[in-house]
């Protein structure tokens, strides 16, 4: 993960805790406005390994950078592309995040990509869309179109839910097959594989691996401990977070 991405995630986390970004990190990010205008495909690749929490914090960090560091982005802002990824993965939480973005951004194009005229909440955005629509059609046509739009949204959501379900089943089967193969290996080999895995987050793996590692910590090679610590990064929750703390204590960090 690029340092500036980690900094943005950290900014989002600190702001949720009511704290601000350290001055040296803020200065480092101040000159990275070009990051906010990257192609959407670059954001797809960047976000591929991020879990829900990290992705949400990144979006919040980008929003804060646009507003407080005056990063330019407009209709190609990184907030737009990362929010779309979040919306596809976590539709149940997308509206709440969109409302926060609208309340904390000066960019009239985020998070949906269309010019919303400076609205500052999701309710205002929906009202703005209705008023915009009303200018184009008379009352009868508008009501009919709204009904059709609602039906279409229902159809789209149902189709999207079916796609997500199929994708989830496929990923679950692939994960099961992958972990069954991994189970045939020794604990040392499994931990070495996890430490070297650059495609999957550590949460992909069963938490009892972390418990097994914590019990046998003193028997694990120093190089493996360093690699695991790097893989675990700033995690501090759950069994993997507990293992991260145990490794740091054991290593004296």
Instruction: Return the pLDDT at 137.
Output: 65
Angle between helices 91-104 and 122-136 (to 10 degrees): 90
Mean pLDDT of 205-215: 93
Give the tokens for residue 135: 């200018």
Tell which residue, 25, 22, 24, 23, has the closest CA to residue 3. Answer: 25
Mean pLDDT, the chain, rounded, equals: 91
Band (pLDDT 50/70/90 cuts) for residue 133 is confident
pLDDT in tens, 21-74: 999 999 999 999 999 999 999 999 999 999 999 999 999 999 999 999 999 999
Q: What percent of the chain has pLDDT over 70?
A: 98
Above 80 in pLDDT, residue 136? no
Instruction: Return the pLDDT at 2.
Output: 87
Instruction: Return the pLDDT at 253.
Output: 66
- Reported pTM: 0.53
């Amino acid at each position: 993960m690029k340092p500036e991405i980690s900094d943005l995630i950290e900014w989002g986390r600190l702001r949720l805790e009511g704290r601000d970004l350290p001055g040296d990190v803020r200065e480092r990010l101040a000159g990275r406005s070009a990051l906010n205008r990257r192609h959407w495909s670059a954001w797809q690749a960047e976000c591929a390994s991020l879990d829900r929490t990290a992705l949400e914090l990144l979006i919040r960090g980008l929003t804060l950078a646009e507003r407080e560091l005056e990063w330019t982005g407009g209709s190609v802002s990184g907030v737009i592309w990362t929010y779309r990824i979040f919306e596809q993965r976590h539709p149940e939480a997308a509206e709440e995040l969109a409302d926060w973005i609208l309340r904390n951004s000066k960019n009239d194009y985020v998070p949906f990509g269309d010019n919303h005229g400076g609205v500052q909440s999701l309710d205002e955005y929906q009202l703005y869309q209705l008023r915009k629509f009303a200018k184009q059609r008379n009352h009868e046509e508008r009501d009919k179109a709204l009904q059709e739009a609602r039906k279409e949204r229902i159809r789209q959501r149902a189709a999207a839910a079916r796609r997500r379900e199929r994708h989830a089943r496929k990923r679950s089967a692939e994960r099961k097959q992958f972990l069954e193969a991994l189970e045939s290996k020794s604990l040392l080999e499994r931990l070495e594989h996890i430490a070297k895995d650059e495609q999957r987050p550590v949460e992909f793996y069963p938490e009892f691996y972390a418990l097994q590692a914590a019990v046998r910590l003193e028997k694990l090679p120093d190089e493996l401990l360093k690699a695991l610590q790097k893989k675990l990064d700033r995690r501090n929750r759950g069994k993997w977070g507990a293992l991260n703390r145990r490794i740091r204590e054991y290593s004296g960090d």
